[in-house]
Amino acid sequence: MRAWLHSHAESFALTFRHFFSQPIAMSLSIAVIAIGLLFPVAGYLALANIKAMAGGVSTDPQINVFLARNADAAIRADVERRLRAEPRIKRFVFVSKDDALKDLSARIANPDLLAGLAGNPLPDAFLVTTFESSEIAQARVGETIRGWPGIEAVDLDAVWSRRLRILVRTGEKVVLGLGIALGLAMLAIVVNTMRLQVLTRTEEITVSRLFGATSTQIRRPFLYFGALQGLCAGLLAWGAIAAFIAVLEPMVGEVIQAYGRSGQVTGLSIADGLSLIGFSMGVGLLGASLAVRES
């Protein structure tokens, strides 16, 4: 056990010595890898913020069921009982007219526009989600609900939900494709960097073999080197994203407030940042392994 720890300690020391022996070259290499990480992460954050700024709109299509303005508690209870008994309905949420008016007041930039209203013109409503999301299925459920007593109007948003889902899924596919492409580019950069390291240390490797060093002992410092390079690149990318969001957030906040909304720019969480670093280190290890597999 002591010999194993001593061997790894020597590999770590050798890795750090070579890592800091060429600071300019290493800094440029780390910066290139970090830039490669920035683009897919920026796309991921852009999608997350678009969803958040849309007010948490669900991509599940809903049916908006509006009760008649003179509907009393008995009618509302009857509609709720019918919704609960309908097997095609997955879930529903009741929104009172008072809550709807409060939400509308919060969304309007100038609340004084509603001050002149004699009363609450909004009806009570149910937000209904069905098991099937197709427009045909939505229309059939909507027709059924329209025939119930106490229903004034039924509004289907299947078309809007479908378009939103298509946009979100397209964005996710673009981000995924960009991430894969840049991940392969990062891998190529790491492999080339490690190949250069192997070439510049050919004599050292030859001498180590003459003194009985195994292939594992020779490869280990290069693997540590790739992991350390990935670690630095991941930390740099995380810091750059955090700095960019800190600069961008006040400007985005002004735009959000101009439209009468509230919210803030979503950045990388601790878990996201650690995942980014882990991915970067994994790419570094894989690139180093590919570069020295014939050593």
Domain containing 88 — which CATH number? Answer: 3.30.70.3040
Helix (H) or strand (E) holding 93: strand 89-95
Strands 62-67 and 89-95: unpaired
Note the pLDDT tens digit of each residue in 76-96: 899 999 999 999 988 998 988
What's the pLDDT score for residue 286? 84
Residues 271 and 148 in one domain: no
What's the pLDDT score for residue 235? 92
What's the pLDDT score for residue 156? 80
Residues 278 and 199 in one domain: yes
What's the pLDDT score for residue 114? 57
From CA 215, how far away is CA 209, in angstroms rounded? 8
Residues 22 and 118 in one domain: no
Whether the model clears a pTM of 0.75, i.e. scores above it, the answer is no
Give Cα 56 to chain centroid, integer Å.
14
What's the pLDDT score for residue 43? 80
Given a cut of 50, the residues of the chain with pLDDT beneath it are: 55-56
Of 130, 156, 182, the one marking the end of a domain is 156
Contacts of 159 (CB under 8 A, 6+ apart): 135
Residues 280 and 182 in one domain: yes
Residues 231 and 278 in one domain: yes
Alpha-carbon separation of residue 96 from 93, 102, 130 (angstroms): 10, 10, 21
From CA 245, how far away is CA 270, in angstroms rounded? 15
Instruction: Give the domain extent around 139.
Output: 62-156
Residues 147 and 200 in one domain: no
What's the pLDDT score for residue 52? 64
Amino acid at 89: I
Residues 203 and 239 in one domain: yes
Residues 178 and 258 in one domain: yes
What's the pLDDT score for residue 250? 73
Of 156, 189, 205, the one marking the end of a domain is 156
Residues 127 and 179 in one domain: no
Give Cα 60 to chain centroid, integer Å.
19
Of 135, 156, 177, the one marking the end of a domain is 156
What's the pLDDT score for residue 84? 92
Domain count, the chain: 2
What's the pLDDT score for residue 106? 67
Note the pLDDT tens digit of each residue in 20-70: 667 787 788 888 888 888 888 888 887 777 666 654 455 566 888 999 888
